[in-house]
Chains A and B, each alone.
Chain A
Amino acid sequence: MKDILASLPGLNDKYSMFSCIAEDADLGDSKFLFSAEDGLTSKDMMTRCGSKMLDGHRPVFDAAAIEKMRAAGGKLIGKCNMDEFGFGSFGTNSAYGIPKNPFDLERSCGGSAGGSACAAAAIDGHVSLGASTGGSICCPASFCGVYGLVPTYGRVSRYGLVDCGNSLDKVGLISSDPELLARFLPVISGKDPREPTSCAQPELELKGERIGSVGVPEEQLEGVSKDVLSCFESSLDVLRGMGVEVKMIKMPSLKYALSTCFIISAAESSTNLASFVGMRYGQQEGDLSMRFDDYFTYFRTKYIGEEARQRILYGTYIRMAGLRERYYVKALRVRLHIIESYKKAFAEHDAILTPTMPFVSPKFEEIAKMTSDESYGIDRLACPPDVAGMPHISVPCGYDGSGMPIGMQLVTDHWKEDPLITFAKDWGKAFDVRRPEVSL
């Protein structure tokens, strides 16, 4: 562990996975090292959510997930770079550096938890905490060739997570080792009276339940790149070899998930982020003789980045009188339909399986040239289970001709994390997961 701590500055110079590294190199009684996305509060390191708005913000408390990891003997080694307030799919919207993919430094780690996936891929035996609103853990896990687990909504307390879309946000885990997901999910799970959505959960039991059948929604394979499709189909053969029944199914409701996710997250984040106005947190250097509207506008215009600003504007519009019913309330009702569709599918199959992302991690120069249509649709495969609050996992399932990782995503019914964890462990034995060559 000492070697890893000593290598962090060099690693970060090369990959920019951390916005902040532990200053204290003393391991004390620590049993393991972990990192956390910068949207989770930490009392010994700044919490800035990738935003200039929160520069200098040092919370006085740890997020529940960080608190529990420390209590289990973990040492927090760094806060991971993320898209500002979670808005982005490529990790390029951070004010504190853009994480670079350990498989190819010219490519993205994905987003928004790009720094967490980068750390999980680059550091041996590492586990990182991430947060997911609409594909933010599985997208980077797929791009970086690691395992990304998003538990059921409410399984892990969101206390101390800077909310983006509060009815969508979940805290999860990213690691190159599925055994670490099994080890740490019970650590971070559980009821927390400080966060009521965590209090309705049944007890987490990891008893080795296996997935016997998967349904593959045909519609979700449309528009997927040749490389991804080819690896995915090979993975279906591996699954059959493992004794898993694979059946093509139809789930037309999933086509509404992306719009539903966008509307709910924009509406909710536009209110949640309204508290960042140059008072109490982060930047506060303004002239207090200004009228409050002007003061707030000065800070938000100066310090909130382009993508976050756009999403907040969209959300503010969606919540306007006369439009709230049409967009936000409608999206909540469509979400219920999507949940019902999943439940119907789970009556016949243990899990739903799709590729995680429609293509491998793009190069930064390709991202810069993407049309709004292309960048809008990128999370269409990763976000449906996030909308439904269902547990899901991205596992590496292949590599394209350039050696870039490809992932597939399994979804199970609410509170059924056990089969996902068991599957990841079995898959880790059946599939040859490659690690990037990390040198300093």
Chain B
Amino acid sequence: MDRMIMERVAKAAHFALNEEEIERYCKDFDELFNRLNMIDGAPEGEGHGVNPLEVGDVLRDDVPGIFFDPYELLKDMKTYENYVRGPRVL
């Protein structure tokens, strides 16, 4: 595993890795993917699906409603004027 790729992966996953961790994970990735690569030659089944079973479409009536009290939902969050507060985007 190239360390540049490891840094990109860590950045995408939002983890700050130190030098020792990058080195260790590069080695671990190599070992792990050597094992996982065994599926390269594995036979494939017919069809395509994300779930192991057929999942039908479930349509609900479009009825407005409140599932939870919004104030209950917000009580453990950082808020400002009942909006969830988050970090700077820009």
Contacts and interface: CB of A to CB of B under 8 A. Distances in A.
| A and B bind | yes
Interface of A: 56-58, 60-61, 152-154, 167-168, 193, 196-197, 199-200, 253, 255-256, 259-260, 262-263, 270, 274, 277, 279-280, 284, 286-298, 300-301, 304, 309-310, 312-314, 316-317, 320, 326-327, 330-340, 372, 376, 387-390, 414
A313 B25 CA distance: 9
A340 B28 CA distance: 33
Given A279-B77, A313-B25, A320-B9, A340 B46 contact: yes
A389 B9 contact: no
Interface string B15-41: 110000000010011011001101110
Q: Could you tell me the dominant secondary structure of chain B's interface residues?
A: loop
B81 interface: no
Given A284-B78, A316-B9, A376-B35, A300 B55 contact: no
27 contacts: A61-B68, A152-B53, A153-B53, A154-B51, A154-B53, A193-B58, A196-B55, A197-B53, A199-B55, A200-B53, A253-B43, A279-B86, A289-B87, A294-B87, A296-B87, A298-B16, A300-B15, A312-B15, A333-B48, A334-B39, A334-B42, A334-B45, A336-B46, A337-B44, A372-B28, A389-B51, A390-B52
B13 interface: yes
Interface of B: 5, 8-16, 25, 28-29, 31-32, 35-36, 38-40, 42-58, 60, 68-69, 72-73, 76-78, 84-89
Given A56-B76, A301-B16, A310-B28, 5 more contacts: A253-B42, A263-B36, A287-B87, A317-B29, A333-B45
Give the secondary structure class of A's interface: helix
A292 B14 CA distance: 10
B49 A200 contact: no
A316 B5 CA distance: 11
Nearest to B56: A200
A57 B77 CA distance: 10
Given A317-B29, A334-B44, A335-B45, A256 B38 contact: yes
B51 A334 contact: no
